Amino acid sequence: MNRNTVLSAIFLLVGLGTTQAQVNILNAKTPQEIGVKSEQQKMLENDNPLPYGYVNESRDILYGKMVWEIIDLEQRANLPLYYPIEDNLGAERRSLFNVLITAIEEGEITEVYDDSYFRTKKTLEEIKTNFHAKELTDEGKDIVMLYAANYPDLMGAELTKKLEEEGILSDVHFFVERVKSDDVIQYKIKGYWYFDARQGELKYRLLGICPLAPGALDKIRAAQNNTDPEPAELFWIYFPDARKVLHKALAFNGKNSASPFNFDHLLNSRRFQATIYQVENVYGDRKIEDYFRDNAQHQLLESERIKESIRNFEQDMWSY
């Protein structure tokens, strides 16, 4: 049996395993049974992600480099991470952001931080404050000022809440915004490229992921000023903590809907297009835009140069 035959057999087995894990479409007797796995499916499937192998960092790693990349969801290759933006296709069809934020709210993902160095944890309450904003309109502010004398013991938010309870203020007196799946237009990821001397190959380990979107309050400010809101880092997730959740969530496979990819496989196998925007360096891990200012072309070329230098290391190892 030659090498191509062996590889074909492996991919066939993987595809069969994925098909078995599909939703119960062909065997459902009623529409309500679609999406509900049978007992046979539960017995056959493996709901745990493939564990990372142990790496002896002091002995096995011959070369390593930490890189930060940005995934633009407008690129065609990255669309499986973005769609569907509506939550009306059921639990089996959700965007990556929907999967992540739902898991955070339900306590399945707990390693959530405020930056890519994972130093300060963010609580669910802190995350939610950036996801929903409610602010008085000019008319609403005038009403609050008008009734302030009637409630001398109340100020600010307490007075606004009191006026809402009494029906003096209604929805028309507020700007209300929230962060939705379609607001997330980019992701930042942090990963480590390393050459495994024991296995003789270059490998990649994803360490963190961060959705980028305008905060709810920023969306209100932009609407008031007739400008486009700037995306910002919402939170950083330590990726190994999210693998179990992402392994159960499926991304759409446009070439074969019977064999969807789970998000853990999609991200670990780097089935996306990304651009390096930062790399660890002696200058405090400065970003590319910090030393190639106001020149997008040079920034892109520098990103490609860094990619090439990482790839070349593995090639140089086998050059004599």
**Whole-number pLDDT of residue 12:** 38
CA angle 97-99-102, nearest 5°?
100
Q: Is residue 6 very low, low, confident or very high in pLDDT (cuts 50, 70, 90)?
A: very low
| Cα separations in angstroms, 168 against 36, 39, 69, 137 | 47, 55, 49, 14
Which position has the token pair 């059921």?
A: 90
172-180 average pLDDT score: 88
Distance spanning both ends of the chain, measured CA to CA? 31
Q: Is the model's pLDDT at 102 over the cut of 90?
A: yes
**Whole-number pLDDT of residue 305:** 96
**Whole-number pLDDT of residue 80:** 93
276-293 average pLDDT score: 95
Please report, as a single letter, which amino acid is at residue 141: K
**Whole-number pLDDT of residue 13:** 40
98-124 average pLDDT score: 95
pLDDT tens digit string along 113-165? Answer: 999 999 999 999 999 888 888 888 889 888 988 888 888 888 888 888 888 88
Q: Is residue 264 very low, low, confident or very high in pLDDT (cuts 50, 70, 90)?
A: very high
